Structure 1
């Protein structure tokens, strides 16, 4: 049976990430699109717009389009209404990260009826190199560093100017890239205790330095959304100085045992593929990696958040 697919929010994220996956998936047919600008939505859909209901009405999208699966790709502050409406209509929903622009909205979505049909697009936990990185890690405690840099607003401002609006975005680099970075860290090392977080501005920050404590050891998270270099690296350094590196930009795991190279050159699509495959009941769908069990070397240490500011 072919499943009916619809999207709310036909912006650049949908165009670059969701559209290529759904149009190539044999189990799905794109049937409906909802956007505040119908003409822009048709332009984004391109050849895929043929036979698709394009509307500015969420009600029409759900009642006439009748999607089985809905992708919500609206700005951060506009996730709640379409997610709740799609869940109430019985659809499976993949929401773009972060789940919402504030905790109140996020908790409302997480506690909604049908929330077991709701997922968030966080692809890096599904990266094919995560198991290789886990396997290459030395035993015992380590020091962890995750560095995430992008071109940020210089790249996205023309099509996502709301990124600079704290109310609409929910903040800046921490909620934007931090969602990916923290999810990857939690996938590999388990849940941390926060120690400190420093940002370069209030409202919409571009640079973040966060200190965390994992059972495996201390971690430093560095995010720079104004960098000229695109990169995402996770490093774990053992007491003997041996370092294991997960370099997602290059698609490599580097360790004392050698280098492992990824085959998938578009890992950012992994969660979308996995979600669609799971709903369709296809075998071999993406699975969350098995977490390594760590014992904290500083189990008595208490860690509390201490926000401060990074000097420019």
Structure 2
């Protein structure tokens, strides 16, 4: 049976990540799109817009489009309404991270009727094929943990609507944006940490973050630069004797005491989207991030923001 797929929010995230996956998936067909700007949505859909209901009305999207599966790719502050409405209509929902711009609304979504069974969140790096290899390469005993995440930010991203610089719409800056991915990966490998401290380069919408965490395995540091000239995502664990293991997602490899393991999948950022669509279609199981897991990440982000000190000269 072919599942009817719809999207709310036809911006850059949908265009670059969701659209290529759903248009190639054998069990899903795109039937409806909802966006505040219908003309922009059609432009983003391109050739995929043929035969698709494009509307600015969420009600029409749900009642006329009748999607079985809904991707919510709106700005962070506009997740709640579409997610709740789609769940109430009986659809399976994949929500972009974070659950919401506001932690109170994130808790509301995680506790919503149907969320536990039909809501997932797009946090892909826990599903990276190299995570098990990294776990095997970890040094024995306590270690220092460091995750460094650098991107070129808006210079590369070029969003359709630039809401990332608005704290009310985004819920923060680099920490809520990239930190959600980073923390979910760290939790997957090392368990839930205790937030210890946080420094940001600006209040409201920061571009650089250095956060300190206490993991069961030892102290951790999360470093993010959203205006870097270098693209990178590395997770490193180092023991007291200097032995280390490195998960380098940019290069697609794990480096450890037994050598280097290289990944086959060169698009790991699509793993949660693929996993969600395959899970709903009954092809796989256990390949989605639950709202409870996403909320755990956002609670840590919220706790770090509460501890944040501003340092305009902050560097990694």
| TM-score calculated relative to the size of structure 1 | 0.92
**Alpha-carbon contact 1:157-1:163 (below 8 Å) kept:** no
Q: For each residue in 1:224-257, what CA deviation from the matched residue of structure 2 results, as whole angstroms up to 9, or x when unmatched? A: 0010111000000012101100000000000121
The residue aligned with 2:135 is 134
d(CA) in 2 for partners of 1:131, 1:283 = 18
3-state SS in 1 of match to 2:192: coil
Structure 2 residues not aligned, in runs of 5+: 290-303
SS of equivalent residue, structure 1 residue 265: coil
Match of 2:61 in 1: 61
Q: Does the aligned pair in 1 maintain the 2:120–2:288 contact within 8 Å?
A: no
Superposed, which structure 2 residues align to 1:28-107 within 5 Å?
28-107=28-107
In structure 2, C-alpha distance between the alignment counterparts of 1:161 and 1:35, rounded to whole Å: 15
Contact 1:253 1:260 survives alignment (8 Å): yes
Alpha-carbon distance in structure 2 between the residues aligned to 1:152 and 1:166:
16
Q: Deviations over 1:252-278 (max 9, x none)?
A: 000121000000000000000000111
For 2:284 and 2:101, locate their aligned partners in 1 and report how far apart those are by CA, in whole Å. Answer: 34
Give the whole-Å Cα distance in 1 for the aligned partners of 2:34 and 2:159: 21
Per the alignment, do residues 97 and 283 of structure 1 end up closer, same or farther by CA in structure 2, a change over 3 Å counting? closer
Residues 178-197 of structure 1 show CA distances to partners (whole Å, capped at 9, x for unaligned) of: 00000000000000011101
Q: Which residue of 1 aligns with 2:300?
A: none
Whether the 8 Å contact between 1:211 and 1:218 is mirrored in structure 2 is: yes
Aligned-partner SS, 1:59:
helix
Q: 1:54 to 1:287 in 2, by over 3 A?
A: closer
Mapped to 1, the partners of 2:196 and 2:220 lie a distance apart of 10
Name structure 1 gaps, 5 residues minimum: 289-302
Q: Secondary structure at the match of 1:177?
A: helix
Superposition CA RMSD, Å: 1.6
Q: Partner of 1:164: helix, strand, or coil?
A: coil
Q: Is the 8 A contact 2:272 2:288 kept in 1?
A: no
1:268 partnered with 2:269: yes
Give the number of equivalent residue pairs: 298
**Residues 84 and 109, structure 1, Cα contact 8 Å, conserved in 2:** yes
Whose relative contact order is higher, 1 or 2, with alpha carbons under 8 Å and at least 6 apart? 2
Displacement over 4 Å in runs of 4+: none
Equivalent position SS for 2:120: strand
Deviations 1:106-165 (A, max 9, x none): 111111111121111000000000000001112111000000001112223552411000
Q: Is the 8 A contact 1:277 1:285 kept in 2?
A: no
Deviations 1:172-216 (A, max 9, x none): 000000000000000000000111011111010110000000010
- How far is 1:306 from its partner? 3.7
287 and 31 in structure 1: CA distance in 2 versus 1, 3 angstrom threshold? closer
Which residue matches 2:209? Answer: 208
